[in-house]
Structure 1
Amino acid sequence: MKYLIALLGLVVVLGLAWLVSSDRKNIKFKPIAIMIVVQLVLSYVLLNTKFGLVLIKGIAGVFEKLLEYANEGINFVFGGLVNEGQMSFFLGVLLPIVFISVLIGIFQYFKILPFIMKLIGLLLSKINGMGKLESYNAVASAMVGQSEVFITVKKQLDMLPSHRLYTLCASAMSTVSMSIVGAYMTMIEPKYVVTAIVINLFGGFIIASIINPYTVTEEEDILEIQEEEEKQTFFEMIGEYIMDGFKVAIIVGAMLLGFVALMAAINNVFDMIFGISFQQILGYIFAPFAFIMGVPASEVVTAGGIMATKLVTNEFVAMIDLGKVANDLSARTLGIISVFLVSFANFSSIGIIAGAVKGLSEKQGNTVARFGLRLLYGATLVSVLSAVIVSFIL
């Protein structure tokens, strides 16, 4: 039965993408089919094999060690602010972003990260049937973040037609930055974080290939990565990435403070007036999507509420809510919803991406703002698609 529901979910997701396609006649179904198979194989390997278990444990172990190192600095600066053996969300989950941001900066400085991103991007372009720039951008988004990635391709930004720009922005919204992966792993199981990151990469290409199909000619298929105009010293770079990481932690913390408080207030008002919370109402609206993702019928309303929370606020708020009800949900539901939550697909990301592009190109920033809702629609379908793929495996 679960396979029939998963197949239904796959058809519905692809059908919803097809409905808003800008050029249905030029959709390339062969690369789409290949990428779906790749998603299924990778999900099975990561979640159901000994090799996958060892790989996930290794990755989780690395991030666990990184968080330990980060906590050394946090305890030195903020020690004594909380009771011994306890840690606040801001100190334990968000501040480690600062240290991981520094590591990303070091790998960037020594050209290790750009080499990896170009290599993986080149390999992906052979599978997805899209351009080298699009493939590189998807990998780079997962490495350096949805805002910073556009800096690396700013030489080509002004020359891109709107259809290629859409694909670049869709990749940025469908992935997550490596700087906050450690934070996610403190909130949901690492195996679902890693699986989601990998299959979202292909999911972004699948949905973009349907919503926004096009062919890149050899003349257009040029990848120029922006190098730093003025070479920084090593310690200048360290200082910059420390500040960047701290800004991210503060911004995420501020957004959480505001969104959690706002959601609590709205829930209370709805409960007083209608006798049902706002999140419960959203849960009923999103319940059909939870069902086609393979969530058991008895849990679709709860799962739908968490999915909706992620869309209207952000993934951190939704992960907090998932943690509150985790003991009441089956392992299958936890896995499916966890994978759904690992992406930047929410309303605030429209502003973040449009702002990042506008800072580099006024014209292209306005273009991104115009297709913002279509961008969010596609990125949300990527999250649903990833959850459906995982439902075949769990």
Structure 2
Amino acid sequence: MRILIALLGVLVVFALAYLGSNNRKKIRYRPIAVMIGLQVILSFIFLNTPVGEAIIKAISFVFDNLMNYAGQGVDFVFGGMANEGKAPFFLTVLLPIVVISSIIGILQYTKILPFIIKYIGLILSKVNGMGRLESYNGVASAILGQSEVFISVKNQLEYLPKYRLYTLCASAMSTVSMSIVGSYMELLDPKYVVTALILNLFGGFIIASILNPYTVNEEEYELQAEEEEGEKQSFFEMLGEYIMDGFKVAITVGAMLIGFVALIAIVNGIFKGIIGISFQQLLGYVFSPIAFIMGVPWGDLVHAGSLMATKMVTNEFVAMTDLSSQNPMSVRATGIVSVFLVSFANFSSIGIITGAVKGLHEKKGNEVASFGLKLLYGATLVSILSATIAGLFI
């Protein structure tokens, strides 16, 4: 039964992507089949084998230590502000982003990250049948983040046609930034976070290959990663910039959480007063059919649907905190929903990505704005696909 529901889920995702495709005749099915196969294999490895468990433990160990080290800096500045035994979300979950961001900056400055991103992207391009730039961007998005990644390809933006720009933006919305992975692991089981990161990388290419198929002339669009002369920063200039960038992300996420959580509480109160159920419960009924095709057990459908809708309407942090604080679901439902939540697929991301591109190239930013809703549509399908595949092994 579990396999049949998963097959149904994959077919529904493919059908929805096919309906939204801008050129169905150019869809190449062989790379899509290969990537689906890789998703299934990787899900099995990460969720059901000792090797996968060891990898996840190693990654979790790294981030646990980073969060602990970050806590020393947070305690130095904010020590004594928290009540004894309490763990304020901003101090323990968001502020460590500052430290992880600085480490990413160091790896970027020393050319370690660009090397890794470039060659993993090159290998991926052989698998996904897409251009090197798209493959590079997919890996870079999962490390640098949905706005910062466009700085690394700013030399190409001016020359990119609209269809290639869509794929780059879709990758950025389908993944998450490595700087906030540690924060996710504070709220979700690390194995679901790591699994989602890998599945979303391939899922982004799969859905883009159906929604937005095309062939690339690599000679026309060479990947340029060199820095412009005169822009080389000193080490401490770079470090200060990345620290401030991390702090801005923490503050931004914190501000959005304050606003969104309060607004949801207001809307929930209004709906309860009028129709007797909260707005989130209502959305839960709307999204429950999607939760069903992902493999969520019958008794958890409404709760799961509510969390999925909350993530789309607000952001993943709001939904993750709800998942960890509300009435618990079954282990299977929690795992599937956790995988779904690990992405930037929400309405606010349309503005973030549009603003990031517009800051680098006005005209291209306007192009991104024109297909913003289609970006969210594709990125949501990626999340559904990843959760469905992972559900086979949870």
TM-score by length of 1: 0.99
Contact preservation (8 Å) 2:97, 2:179: yes
Q: State the partner residue of 2:237.
A: 236
Residues of 1 paired with 2:153 and 2:46: CA distance?
Answer: 32
Contact 1:152 1:227 in 2 (8 A): no
Would the alpha carbon gap of residues 270 and 205 (structure 1) be closer, same or farther in structure 2, given more than 3 Å must change?
same
Instruction: Determine the structure 2 residue equivalent to 1:290.
Output: 291
What is the deviation of 1:391? 1.2
Distance 1:7 1:326 in 2: 29
Match of 2:313 in 1: 312
Q: Is 1:57 the equivalent of 2:54?
A: no
Per-residue Cα deviation, 1:26-57 (whole angstroms, up to 9, x for no partner)? 10000000000000000100110001111100
Q: Is 1:187–1:320's contact at 8 Å kept on the other side of the alignment?
A: yes
| Residue equivalent to 2:196 | 196
Change (3 A) 1:53 1:356: same
- Do the aligned residues in 2 keep the contact of 1:46 with 1:56 (CA within 8 Å)? yes
Contact 2:66 2:100 in 1 (8 A): yes
Please give the per-residue CA displacement for 1:197-233, whole angstroms capped at 9, x wherever unaligned: 0010000000000000000023235211252542211
Q: What is the letter of the counterpart of residue 283 of structure 1?
A: G
Provide the secondary structure at the position in 2 that maps to 1:114.
helix
Partner of 2:275: 274
The corresponding residue for 1:130 is: 130
Stretches of structure 2 that go unaligned for 5 or more consecutive residues are none
1:86 CA drift (Å):
2.4
C-alpha separation in 2, matches of 1:338 and 1:326:
15
Contact 1:152 1:226 in 2 (8 A): no
* Rounded Cα–Cα distance in structure 1 between residues aligned with 2:171 and 2:327: 29
CA positional deviation for 1:120: 0.5
Per the TM alignment, residue 392 of structure 1 is displaced from its structure 2 partner at its CA by: 1.4
Identity of aligned residues (%): 68
Deviation at residue 359 of structure 1 after TM alignment: 0.6
Give the whole-Å Cα distance in 2 for the aligned partners of 1:69 and 1:226. Answer: 33
Q: Which residue of 2 aligns with 1:380?
A: 380
Q: 1:24 aligns to what?
A: 24
Indicate how the Cα distance of structure 1 residues 326 and 112 shifts in structure 2: closer, same or farther if over 3 A, else same.
farther
TM-score, normalization: structure 2? 0.99
Q: Which runs of 5+ in 1 are unaligned?
A: none
Indicate yes or no: 2:246 matched with 1:245: yes
Distance 1:338 1:313 in 2: 16
The answer to whether the 8 Å contact 2:285/2:306 transfers is: yes
User: In the alignment, which residue of structure 2 is the partner of 1:356?
Assistant: 356
Number of residue pairs matched by the alignment: 393
Task: State the 1:85 CA deviation.
Answer: 3.3
Does the CA contact (< 8 Å) of 2:132 and 2:218 recur in 1?
Answer: no
8 A contact 1:326–1:334 mirrored in 2: no
Distance 1:173 1:46 in 2: 23
Provide, for residues 58-110 of structure 1, a one-character-per-residue CA deviation record: whole Å limited to 9, x for no partner.
Answer: 10000000011000000000000012332200000000000000000000010
Q: 1:8 corresponds to which residue?
A: 8
Aligned CA RMSD, in angstroms, stands at 0.9
